[in-house]
Amino acid sequence: MSTLKYRNSCRETNWHVENPTSAIASRLEPHFNATRPVQTKNPYISPKQLDKRWQVINCEKARHELFDDKAQHDMYRYQKNIENYIGTVKLPVGLVGPLRVNGLHANNDFYLPLATTEAALVASYNRGAQLITESGGASAMLISEAVMRTPGFCFQSLAEAGQFVAWVSTQHDVFRDIANQTTNHGELQSVGVNMDANNVYLVFEFTTGDASGQNMVTIATNAVFNYILEHSPITPQYAYVEANLSGDKKATAQSLRNVRGKKVSVEVVVPKELVKKRLHTSVDAMVNYCRLSATGGVISGSIGVHGHYANGLAALYIACGQDAACVAESAVGITRLEHSANGDLYAAVTLPNLMVGTVGGGTGLPSQSACLDILGLNGAGNAKALAEVTAGLCLAGELSIIGALSAGHFSRAHHKLARHNKPS
């Protein structure tokens, strides 16, 4: 009898079989035997549908945790945010701050709620926030904003593609009117063209007001897309409302150079005495680390160079009702550390893809709305300020993690807080 070892990054499994080749084929082939019970096809929220779903799950312990009194009481508030609802997940929320932001739109001391299960994360960002505040605050500037949708069209030839582009160039005002009729908050700002032989990608750029705006721009683009299919003098062989040029839910070099969502730059000058006192390292050590890690990022092929934007962004996005999947593009940017003229630490972060909003999406849900209340940025008129505060949070995280690496303390906090944090 032979032993087949299957190894992956998580585990090693031993299969004791006579014929390992047949065993692999048997395990991986399609199976058409009866499935587990099928859940109700009705995706909406009602006590009847909830009971049907939990009968299928048949796990009372899970029901007790996920569908508690609060989840029952608030269930209709989730109607526009979830299908096949069975309850809510509780995450611990930690507080960072005060973080002083001296921005064009955010100009205050802010407390930031972060939802995470990663020990040491909140402590690290809080340390960076206190350092920034003690240094007089971070200067923040919203530079530009736009959310893209990129429909694609395939024609029989380059000539047809060219004719189509020529027609599109005469329709910009029509497109704008059609798109703007679908929303009270968004506005189609520009229409660009990208050609690849007989393929044409139209680049629609929108502003989205105080919403993150992805659903908004999809609906608006779809209206224009339908108009194009009905009125274009050149009929495409096939076409799609989104052809993957927008950078939605992914890191791209294009969005590093341009903008997706809101582009923000933030900076702070930290006195060298505070670097030593609060981070237990030196300006030289932090600048040298930044130089070395920038080269490492280039070698690895990273888009942008930074330490860990995703940690703070994911925790803030989840707490405040943002689209957590947009961390994929939001966690793209550049961190720079340099010597200032008098030997202090100049630190700057530029994030070109902050997909944040203070209305719509998950921002109106009970817990998420409460977290925006803590920030003081709930509701209309606050999205630009939220973007600047979010960039300040990322700067705080960069200062803290680079300080820890420069001081040789990187593993100390994880060991202390994750493994030996006993309640007092």
By annotation, the residues acting in catalysis are 118, 323, 414
Structure tokens at 424: 């007092």
CB 317 within 8 A of CB 324: yes
Report the C-alpha gap between 228 and 177 in whole angstroms: 13
Count of beta carbons in the 10 Å neighbourhood of residue 162:
15
Produce one character per residue of 347-368: b if its CB has 16 or more CB atoms within 10 Å, e if not: bbbbbbbbbbbbbbbbbbbebb
State how far the Cα of 143 lies from the Cα of 135, in Å rounded to an integer. 23
212, 327 contact by CB (below 8 A): no
How many Cβ atoms sit within 10 Å of the Cβ of residue 385? 25
- Alpha-carbon distance of 318 to 97, in angstroms, equals 18
Q: Are 4 and 20 in contact (CB under 8 A)?
A: yes
Judging by beta carbons within 10 Å of its beta carbon (0-12, 13-18, 19+), is residue 205 exposed, middle or buried?
Answer: buried
How far apart CA 30 and CA 21 sit, in angstroms, is: 16
Cα 184 to Cα 233: distance, rounded to the nearest angstrom: 31
Q: Taking CA 26 as the corner, what is the angle to CA 25 and CA 31, rounded to the nearest 5 degrees?
A: 120
Give me 208's structure tokens: 């989205």
Both tokens of 18, joined, read: 């006579």
State the pairing for strand pair 199-207/261-270.
unpaired
- Taking the alpha carbons of 216, 222, 223, 228 in that order, is the dihedral positive or negative? positive
